[in-house]
Structure 1
Amino acid sequence: MASDKPVVIYPPDEDGGRRVRVDGKILGRAYSVQDVARFMQEAGLQEFDEMDVVRSALIEWRGGPDAWHT
């Protein structure tokens, strides 16, 4: 299933990491909202913080923003 949003956060894997895809490219795995914010900053959105990540219309959350394994 293709996304119309430039950023996709996939559901947690067996290790609790979530793949982060920006513009069709997997950037890595995030283990927290802070990790997602860091990926967004590295992708050029330097002002992005944790609250921006949770509220952003740019991000498609598969599994929701609260679905983190601990």
Structure 2
Amino acid sequence: MATARIIVHPPIGTGGRRVTVRGQIFGLAYTDGDVLEFLRCVGLPDAEELLDNPTWVKWRGGRAHHYEAV
């Protein structure tokens, strides 16, 4: 199985999730909109369709689409 290209890391203590694309840190996301903006910046204009596709996006720790600190 191929590794997902986009990793949304576990929520951090202050809230938000680090997002990496192909191993490069793109920023800290506080909403799905932030993640989508990062993906648009790397040339994925239809990123909405990718957020729940495990081939593209891996959500680590916590529930997908939740950005609050645990």
Name the TM tier (shorter chain).
Answer: 0.7 to 0.9
Q: Give the TM-score taking structure 1 as reference length.
A: 0.80
* Cα deviation code 1:10-57 (max 9, x no counterpart): 0111111100000010011000011000000001002223xx243223
Q: Which runs of 4+ in 1 moved over 6 A?
A: none
Hey, what does 1:12 align to over in structure 2?
11
1:60 corresponds, among 58, 61, 65, to 58
**Normalising by structure 2, what TM-score?**
0.80
Please identify which structure carries the higher helix content: 1
Equivalent pairs: percent with the same residue?
32
* Number of equivalences: 66
More strand by proportion, 1 or 2? 2
Question: RCO higher in 1 or 2 (8 Å CA, sep ≥ 6)?
Answer: 2
